[in-house]
Structure 1
Amino acid sequence: MIFIPLPFVVALLLLILFATVLRRDEEVAPNLPFLALILVSALQSALSGLRWGYGVQGVGLVAPVIAAVVPPLAYAGVSRLVRTSRRSLAARIGLHAVPAILILLLVSFWRDAIDVALVLVFVGYAVAILLLMRPGADALRLAPFEGAVPAYRAIIFTAAALCLSAAVDTFVFLDFISAHSERALALISVGNLAALVILGIAAAAASRSRVPPEITEVAPRSDTSEDKETIAAVDALMEAKKLYCDANLNLDRLARKAGIPARQISAAINRAMDKNVSQYVNDYRIGEACRLLSVTEKSVTEVMFEVGFQTKSNFNREFRRVTDMTPVAWRQRKR
């Protein structure tokens, strides 16, 4: 019987996931770092199968370098949804290539330090991603409000997967020292494969947010005493042009329409209304949905699409948040 190691199965599943995401995003600008992250995770899983399933020891020289590419790709994918970098493309590639170059040098000259270096790289990028996500879903100002919350959760899972991989590497390193690698194979098989699966799925989920062309960021004003004025300006824009009905509306586009820096809008709504911008926009959408449900005979699905939602799960969740009932129950009650 032909023996097929579990890592090869995981690699195949990740490739299928990549093909699915690529087909889904063929009509929009894809998040290339997240797509690359899925491919690299598949390659890493295949290398793990060769090393631990078939004993190809030479893979051990390549695998650490490939592993060092994973955290920068995750961070780059998140950065494309958070803000546009002012650095040139060459500068960004050069900066994020440093971990792989460092590991390559350690493979050549100091192999005992590879595990420690990889742990530092994974933890460092996980912390960097969490710092980017400090404002919550509002940090994803280039992501449509429709998918901001799911993308935010997927990114948090990505950071958690990086930490899990770092923890596995730490345990394996300690096991080699104390127990002569008796438990190393089990730890690698379970821990790293779990981390790769989480990374792949999280990257696929986060990549659902469309990435617009890069633009120059406008510096926010430091004066925070004009929160009411800021919100009034955004309210007037939302009511006059019904921007909330645009399914692809995001914080960056809203800021450009209002002529107000994105961070100023986010800060004003957070401070004055105790909610994030995604919830603020969805409040308008649910308000319009309630109006349509009460004065028209349109189906719930038609109303959902008309007010800017793209998925029933998100529409129902936000409708419950605002009204404490489902759209169908709300319509029945009003009638």
Structure 2
Amino acid sequence: MVFFVARHRDRRDKHQVTIASCQIVPSLMFEIPLPFVVALLLAILLVRLTLRGPAGPVGRSLRIFVAASLALVIMVGLRWQFDLLVFRFLRPLFAAMLPPIAWMCFAALGSEERSQTRWRWMHVIPVLAIFIASLTWRQWHIQVDFLIAVQFAGYGIALIVLASRGEDRFAQARLGDVGSVRSIVAVVGGALIFSGLVDGLIALDFSITQGTNVATIVGTAQLVVLVVLALLMVRLERHSPQTTKLNDSVTEAALSQQKDDPQGNNDIAEDDAILAAIDEVMHAQHLYRDPDLTLDRLARRVVIPARQISGAINRRFGRNVSQVVNEYRVAEAQMLLQTTDKPVTEIMFDCGFQTKSNFNREFGRVTGMGPRAYRDADPYPDERQSDQPFGPIRKLFSENAESREQG
């Protein structure tokens, strides 16, 4: 990250410190340390997230992550601007805290039973180890830079693995945006790995050329990594629910039952029972119309753990939860296209879609044609729609019943 140049605290003189500065107006010899420039950008992003960002745990995680990055950048700037002993000790601590914070921010997007794990305190261990190594550097000469680089690489790999997991790991993201959020997590993990590699490259350059190429390495790496992370945070802001507060009347007993999540036998009957519960809330409460619907909210409504919902839908449909929910939306869109004269855009919003591109893509996946072509191609709408079961789950049950009768 922006602290690459701040890692090698006792191997530079006053002249070398200037490699962390960015000459903004050469003719006036006016120099602003690059960490403070990046800090200004992060501060603007933090203000934007606070005033216009999403609410609930998703928004809170975003603000914590950006605030931690901002604190680290400011600490790096203070370290090289004043070179006080207190900043020498605090800089490695601030650096070591960022990877665990990044992990906990994205892990918090999972379902409630996954997010509230009792092992979260273990993330403090590497932070304390790095801080102790920094305090005792003159006595033991522990390679603090190497420890931080390994920590960044390890958390980066963990984030990439997290991004490859199922939808229940991102149950508090909008169902239609889970794919985008997973890609963001993967890129953030890659950025952390890149940060660790840059640290190693800087250490290698100091050991071989006494830091001759550090200015080029630092100037490129600082800007690339932090700008990418800032852009990713803005994108995640757009792909998160505007609120995760629930109006559901869920009792404490029901929530405790949800957290138990016993490892039962996941046979077809149990999967169908889960699907029936989902279908009930979809029909009775029209939950699919909520554009900010998340897997976590769906799990709370049916009082079934998100992991079981995701597993049952994947096994019975071979598709993910987002696609099945979109099929409910498409089913209502089909009905409205056949029975009303509403504009297509109005129907799109009424059914829970937010963007025309997503609506057209999902409608085409389900029906094989666009919404306007579907409306034009149906001369007898009432007769064709009246016999069809509404929604993918009831269609699945109907097909299974016909198969048993024919067998």
Instruction: Tell me the TM-score range normalised by the shorter chain.
Output: 0.7 to 0.9
Task: Judge conservation of contact 2:163–2:183 (CA < 8 Å) in 1.
Answer: no
**Within 2, Cα distance between the matches of 1:152 and 1:174?**
33
**Within 2, Cα distance between the matches of 1:177 and 1:55?**
25
TM-score by structure 1 length? 0.83
Q: Aligned pair in 2 of structure 1 residues 63, 200: CA closer, same or farther (>3 Å)? A: farther
Residue 129 of structure 2, aligned match among 102, 122, 134: 102
Matched, 1:181 2:211: yes
**Within 1, Cα distance between the matches of 2:370 and 2:78?**
51
**Within 2, Cα distance between the matches of 1:224 and 1:133?**
25
The secondary structure found in structure 1 opposite 2:292 is: coil
**Within 2, Cα distance between the matches of 1:4 and 1:325?**
57
Structure 2 alignment gaps of length 5 or more: 1-27, 247-251, 380-407
Matched, 1:76 2:120: no
Displacement after TM superposition at 1:82 (Å): 0.7
Matched, 1:258 2:285: no
RCO higher in structure (CA 8 A, sep ≥6): 1
1:192-231 alignment, distance < 5 Å: 192-207=222-237, 208-209=240-241, 210-212=243-245, 216=256, 217-226=259-268, 227-231=271-275
* Aligned counterpart, 2:49: 21
Q: Aligned pair in 2 of structure 1 residues 313, 45: CA closer, same or farther (>3 Å)? A: farther
**Within 1, Cα distance between the matches of 2:49 and 2:371?**
31
Residue 280 of structure 1, aligned match among 300, 303, 324: 324
Residue 192 of structure 2, aligned match among 158, 162, 187: 162
Task: Judge conservation of contact 1:146–1:310 (CA < 8 Å) in 2.
Answer: no
Q: Aligned pair in 2 of structure 1 residues 234, 220: CA closer, same or farther (>3 Å)? A: farther
* Aligned counterpart, 2:64: 36
Supply the AA of the counterpart residue of 2:215: L
Supply the AA of the counterpart residue of 1:242: H
% identity of equivalent residues: 36
Matched, 1:304 2:348: yes
Task: Judge conservation of contact 1:45–1:196 (CA < 8 Å) in 2.
Answer: no
**Within 2, Cα distance between the matches of 1:4 and 1:320?**
53
Larger radius of gyration: 2
Q: Aligned pair in 2 of structure 1 residues 138, 268: CA closer, same or farther (>3 Å)? A: same
Q: Aligned pair in 2 of structure 1 residues 256, 40: CA closer, same or farther (>3 Å)? A: closer
The secondary structure found in structure 2 opposite 1:31 is: helix
**Within 1, Cα distance between the matches of 2:368 and 2:216?**
47
Displacement after TM superposition at 1:225 (Å): 1.1
Task: Judge conservation of contact 1:230–1:268 (CA < 8 Å) in 2.
Answer: yes
1:127-172 CA deviation, whole Å, 9 max, x = no partner? 3333433434442122231432322222222212211111211211
The secondary structure found in structure 2 opposite 1:115 is: helix
Displacement after TM superposition at 1:237 (Å): 3.6
**Within 2, Cα distance between the matches of 1:271 and 1:28?**
31
Displacement after TM superposition at 1:256 (Å): 2.9
Displacement after TM superposition at 1:203 (Å): 3.4
Displacement after TM superposition at 1:220 (Å): 4.2
Q: Aligned pair in 2 of structure 1 residues 178, 76: CA closer, same or farther (>3 Å)? A: same
Displacement after TM superposition at 1:312 (Å): 4.2
Supply the AA of the counterpart residue of 1:306: D
Supply the AA of the counterpart residue of 1:173: A
Supply the AA of the counterpart residue of 2:315: R
Q: Aligned pair in 2 of structure 1 residues 247, 9: CA closer, same or farther (>3 Å)? A: same
Task: Judge conservation of contact 2:55–2:244 (CA < 8 Å) in 1.
Answer: no
Give RMSD over aligned pairs. Answer: 3.1
1:132-143 alignment, distance < 5 Å: 132-143=162-173
Task: Judge conservation of contact 2:332–2:351 (CA < 8 Å) in 1.
Answer: yes
The secondary structure found in structure 2 opposite 1:265 is: helix
Q: Aligned pair in 2 of structure 1 residues 15, 147: CA closer, same or farther (>3 Å)? A: same
Alignment size in residue pairs: 331
Supply the AA of the counterpart residue of 2:49: V
Displacement after TM superposition at 1:56 (Å): 4.6
Q: Aligned pair in 2 of structure 1 residues 195, 324: CA closer, same or farther (>3 Å)? A: farther
Q: Aligned pair in 2 of structure 1 residues 29, 129: CA closer, same or farther (>3 Å)? A: closer
Structure 1 alignment gaps of length 5 or more: none
Supply the AA of the counterpart residue of 1:310: Q
Which 4+ residue blocks in structure 1 deviate beyond 6 angstroms? none
1:180-229 CA deviation, whole Å, 9 max, x = no partner? 22222222222233222233333343353445589652314431212344
Supply the AA of the counterpart residue of 2:177: G
* Aligned counterpart, 2:178: 148
The secondary structure found in structure 1 opposite 2:354 is: coil
Q: Aligned pair in 2 of structure 1 residues 315, 271: CA closer, same or farther (>3 Å)? A: same
The secondary structure found in structure 2 opposite 1:182 is: coil
